Amino acid sequence: KVTGNITAFDVDRLVEHFPLCMRHLHRKLRDDKHLKHYGRMQYNLFLKGIGLPLEEALIFWRKSFSKFSDEQFQKNYAYNVRHNYGMEGKRVNYTPYKYVYPESKPAVKIHFAHFETNGSCSKIINNNQPGPEEHHGCPFRHFSEESLRVTLASVGVRNDAYIREIINLVRNKHYQVACTRYYEITRGGERGMMDTIEHPNHFFEQSYKLSI
């Protein structure tokens, strides 16, 4: 569990609450020590939304890109991290955002995320289709059926009936409903326990709240 202000070093402990798109990006980042442009942008906006401050995001990305020198990182990557936080370019997008992770369920409703419109599910599903060696996008939309089956089994969906249900939703292009069923199946199983996922930070917020 994470308490207090989130830091670069807390991200690994929060991955269990991430939707499949962000779990996939996180795993590829750890494997390759690099992500291509759209992957960095998709993941960075999500991390911003879970309350990672800019200075911690810069530490997170610097440490994750461990195969690069400081100079390469500053020259090629730091600008984009700051840009996603609205601190470069037109600076129209800057929303100061702070979230302190509570030790136990707070009495008032908690809102973790600043939901970036740019990072919504519909944008991820419909824009910038991933090419070879790119890991951004939505697994329900962009993985092959076989890869999705293997991924679902690896994150705890081992019941064949559940996998078939999710695959059928995907075949009918109901990607966000499939993601919502994945959430429900892995966190209680009740169909309709939550509204259709519209944003990866929405998934995270609901999952984290269940754990405190």
- The one segment of 15-23, 96-104, 145-153, 187-195 that binds ligand SF4 by CB under 6 A: 15-23
Dist. CA 126–CA 163, nearest whole Å:
24
Measured from the CB atom, the residue of 78 and 177 that comes closer to ligand SF4 is 177
Measured from the CB atom, the residue of 77 and 140 that comes closer to ligand SF4 is 140
Strand partners, 5: 100
**Own/partner long-range contacts of 205-210 (Cβ < 8 Å, ≥24 apart):** 205/111, 205/112, 205/113, 207/16, 207/17, 207/18, 207/183, 208/14, 208/17, 208/112, 209/105, 209/110
Least spacing, CB of residue 83 vs ligand SF4, in Å: 21
Give the footprint of ligand SF4 on residues 112-151 (CB under 6 A).
121, 124, 138-140
Cβ pair 67, 33 in contact under 8 A: yes
Placement of tokens 């069923």 in the chain: 181
> Is residue 49 part of the contact set for ligand SF4 (CB under 6 A)?
no
> Is residue 47 part of the contact set for ligand SF4 (CB under 6 A)?
no
- The one segment of 88-96, 103-111, 159-167, 172-180 that binds ligand SF4 by CB under 6 A: 172-180
Least spacing, CB of residue 176 vs ligand SF4, in Å: 5
> Is residue 200 part of the contact set for ligand SF4 (CB under 6 A)?
yes
Placement of tokens 């990607």 in the chain: 175
Least spacing, CB of residue 198 vs ligand SF4, in Å: 8
Dist. CA 141–CA 153, nearest whole Å:
17
Chain residues that interact with ligand SF4, rule: CB under 6 A: 19-21, 121, 124, 138-140, 175-176, 179, 197, 200, 203
